[in-house]
Amino acid sequence: MPPSLMNAIHAEHLSKTFRDFWRRPRVDAVRSISFDVPAGQIFGLLGPNGSGKSTTIKMILGLLFPTAGSIEVLGASPRSTAVKRRIGYLPEESYLYPHLTPLETLTFYARLFRLPPDTARTRIDQLLDMTGLSHARHRPVGGFSKGMARRIGLAQALLNDPDLVILDEPTAGLDPQGTRQVKDLILALVARGKTILLTSHLLADVEDVCHQVAILFNGRLLAQGTLDSLLTLKDKTTLTFPTPPDPVTLQRLLESVRAALGADPELDHPRQALEPYFLQIVRDAARRQSSDLSGAAPHPPLAPFLRQRDGGTDAAPAR
C-alpha cells in the first residue's frame, strides 16, 4: 500500500516563505519539514508561538500554498473540494458571523456540506446538546464568551462527521469541564477510526490524548515520534506499592534495592493529576447544590451521530 493511503496526511520537505509586496522573502515560516499523520491516530503539532504550526495547518487545508515540497491529505491535493468534504476544521480563533445565532451558523455550514435537511436538523440538535449550547441556540454568537464561541466552533467542525479532524488549540478558552469534554470527544472520535491533528500550547492536554507528536521551532521540525518513544526514560524504573505500615519495613526494602543495584533509589509518593481532582470536587459540589454549571454539563452526552460506528454500535473511548 503506498504511504499516502496509510497516512491521512503526508508532507514531504514542506516549506513556506512569506514574501513582501516586491516578492522579496520576508519570513521563512516553515522550513523543509516532513511528517506523516497515520490514519486513525491522534497527532499533536507542538511548538511555541511563531513556530509554524498554523502555517502548516493552513497548507494542509489548501489555504496557503507551499513554496517548496509537497503535501497530500487523504490521498489527494489539499485544494480538492472532495477531500474537504471529509475534513472538519476548528480554527485557532472561532471565525463566526457575529449576527448569526448558533442555529443559523450550523445551518449555514450544513448547507456548505449539502447535508439533507433532516440529517442537518438532527445533527445540529445533537451537536447543540453535546456542546451545551441548546439554551443559547437563538442568541447571536457575537455576544458569546470565548468558551462558548469555541463550543460552536467545535460543533461546526464535526457537523459533516469528518474522517480527518483538524483542531487548532481546541481547548483554548475552555474551563476544565469543557477541556475534559473535548479530550473525551477526541478519544471517542479516534475510537471510531477518525484521524485527529491537533495543536495546543497546553502540553498536559496533548500528553493526555496524543499518540504521536511533532515539535516545531522556528519553522523547523525538531522532534517527532510516539509519546512513548520520546518521553520514556529507559534507564529508570518506577515501582509502585502500598506504603509500608512502619518505617523499618521501608528501610529494609530500600537496603535490598541498594544492595541489588548498587545505587540509591528515589523515594516519593505518587500524586494524582490536578484535572481529575478538580473535576471531582466540582462535580461533588454541583451534585450537593444541584446547581447548573456554566456551559456544558460535567459529562455531556456525545452526539449520537458521532457515537455510532458505521455498523451502528457505540464506540468506547480508546484511552
Regarding 109 and contact with another protein (CB under 8 A), the answer is yes
Smallest gap, in angstroms, from Cβ of residue 65 to another protein? 6
Q: What number of chain residues touch another protein (CB under 8 A)? A: 34
> In terms of CB distance, is 153 or 177 closer to another protein?
153
Q: Judged by CB under 8 A, which of 5, 112, 230, 273 binds another protein?
A: 112
- Grid cell of 318 as nine digits: 480508546
Regarding 85 and contact with another protein (CB under 8 A), the answer is yes
Regarding 173 and contact with another protein (CB under 8 A), the answer is no
Q: Give the interface segment with another protein, choosing from 85-93, 268-276, 280-288, 291-299 (CB under 8 A).
A: 85-93
Nearest Cα to Cα of residue 56 among 247, 258, 174, 216: 216
CA distance 265 to 123: 55
Regarding 99 and contact with another protein (CB under 8 A), the answer is yes
Residue count of the chain? 319
> In terms of CB distance, is 47 or 91 closer to another protein?
91
Smallest gap, in angstroms, from Cβ of residue 8 to another protein? 15
Q: Judged by CB under 8 A, which of 115, 133, 136, 165 binds another protein?
A: 115
Q: Give the interface segment with another protein, choosing from 97-105, 128-136, 262-270, 285-293 (CB under 8 A).
A: 97-105
Q: CA 298 → CA 176, 281, 284, 314, distances in Å? A: 9, 11, 11, 20
Regarding 48 and contact with another protein (CB under 8 A), the answer is no
Regarding 108 and contact with another protein (CB under 8 A), the answer is yes
> In terms of CB distance, is 88 or 295 closer to another protein?
88
> In terms of CB distance, is 54 or 177 closer to another protein?
54
Smallest gap, in angstroms, from Cβ of residue 206 to another protein? 22
- Grid cell of 32 as nine digits: 523543509
Regarding 50 and contact with another protein (CB under 8 A), the answer is no
CA distance 218 to 27: 10
Residue 51 contacts residue 60 (beta carbons within 8 Å): no
Residue 85 contacts residue 114 (beta carbons within 8 Å): no
> In terms of CB distance, is 165 or 187 closer to another protein?
165
- Grid cell of 242 as nine digits: 502500598
Angle between helices 102-112 and 146-158 (to 10 degrees): 30
Regarding 77 and contact with another protein (CB under 8 A), the answer is no
CA distance 300 to 151: 13
Q: Judged by CB under 8 A, which of 5, 27, 63, 76 binds another protein?
A: 63
Interface positions with another protein (CB under 8 A) = 18, 55, 58, 61-65, 81-82, 84-85, 87, 89, 91, 93, 95-97, 99-100, 108-109, 111-117, 139-140, 156, 160
